[in-house]
Homo-oligomer: A and B are copies of this chain.
Amino acid sequence: VTEFELIRLLKPALPGNDQVVDGAGDDCAVLDLGAPGMVTLLKTDAVVEGVHFESGESPVRIGHKAMGRCLSDMAAMGGLPVAAVVTLGLPEGWHPDRIEGIYQGLCALAARWRTAVVGGEVTRNPGGLFINVCLVGSATRESVVRRAGASPGDGIFVTGELGGSLEGRHLDFEPRLAEGRWLAEGGWASSMIDLSDGLAGDLPHLLEASGGIGAELRMESIPVSRAAKLRGARGDMARPPLLAALCDGEDFELLFTVRPGKAVALLDGWKAAFPSVRLTCIGRIETKPGVRLREGTGFRPMPGGGFEHFAGVEGN
């Protein structure tokens, strides 16, 4: 069962109430808790030993990743993170020093984004280390950006460079919170999602949420990371760099759409606000469903499925 099948299966039966603005299915849930003009964003996410990190990994990096994944989802809604709570599931014989390391990684990243860590839970988990982070954030009601909202004609943009995250970025990435807020508050993005399942995996989620529309991507515009190129050259994990950029998971970059008339102004504003962060227009939203990959004057088939986390588990 994938997460998406599960959501489809379970969503109709989930209880709601009149404080729910958006329930399951986006990067964060959206709640109305009564603050005038504001909404509350809520996200939960876990990293698991042997699935999202290797057993020998540094506790500090594991903690960083656990917090970073939630913050990246907050970024993708244009939210401001407020507070997190943490659940640690510990295998037998875990040394307190390693717990401190995890908290160091969690807290250093949280503190950098003025996110409080307000509690937690510790339990045993016989099979291995399990860290769940639940994050609360806030945003003005009008500024929230969703997966739904893209329209035919919109340009498709992506921050940073894609692919090869397993070379290290998946443990060390800085969530695009400043960029996400800037895009949301400036009203630039008509829809947005963070790239955790790879461009080929996440773009279809945005298209489906936006009403089953499609997209054309220009192959030569895809920003391929140095890590993806390196990976292409390494015997043990060899993969063509473009395929890595399309299909590797855990880029934790932002994928978003922009109304056609705004693209030039966006690129100008972006350069002034984030001079060191690459922003690329990689294609265009179209009415016809599906994703097409344009190469020169022809088309290539888009690689299907598309997510590949550390051990092949999908997430969001």
Contacts and interface: CB of A to CB of B under 8 A. Distances in A.
Interface string A19-44: 11011111011010111101010111
Contact of A35 (B34, B44, B86, B126): B34
Please indicate which of the listed interface residues A28, A43, A119, A127 has the most CB atoms of chain B within 10 Å of its own CB.
A119
A14 B116 CA distance: 7
B48 A118 contact: no
B82 A31 contact: yes
For chain A, what secondary structure do more than half of its interface residues adopt (helix, strand, loop), or is it mixed?
mixed
A145 B31 CA distance: 24
Contact of A83 (B42, B87, B94, B122): B42
B1 A118 contact: no
B23 A116 contact: yes
A312 to B, nearest CB: 9
Given A34-B35, A35-B34, A17 B116 contact: yes
B119 A9 contact: no
A126 to B, nearest CB: 5
Contacts of A115: 15, 17
A314 B20 CA distance: 33
A20 B83 contact: yes
A201 B31 CA distance: 35
A123 interface: yes
Interface stretch (A103-111, A148-156, A221-229, A256-264): A103-111
A34 B44 contact: no
A117 B44 contact: no
Interface residues of A, number: 77
Interface in A89-142: 89, 91, 94, 96, 99-100, 103-104, 107, 110-111, 114-128, 130, 132, 134, 136, 138
A104 B13 CA distance: 8
A94 B38 CA distance: 40
A98 B15 CA distance: 19
A272 interface: no
A295 interface: no
Contacts of A51: 123-126
A313 to B, nearest CB: 5
Nearest to A86: B44
18 contacts: A6-B99, A9-B100, A10-B100, A16-B116, A19-B82, A19-B83, A23-B118, A24-B120, A29-B118, A33-B35, A35-B36, A40-B136, A42-B134, A44-B85, A50-B126, A85-B134, A124-B311, A134-B134
Given A33-B38, A44-B120, 19 more contacts: A7-B120, A9-B100, A16-B118, A17-B116, A20-B118, A23-B119, A24-B119, A28-B119, A29-B118, A29-B119, A33-B82, A42-B83, A43-B85, A44-B44, A44-B132, A46-B87, A46-B89, A51-B125, A125-B125
Which are the 3 A-B pairs with shortest beta-carbon distances?
A127-B127, A134-B134, A34-B35
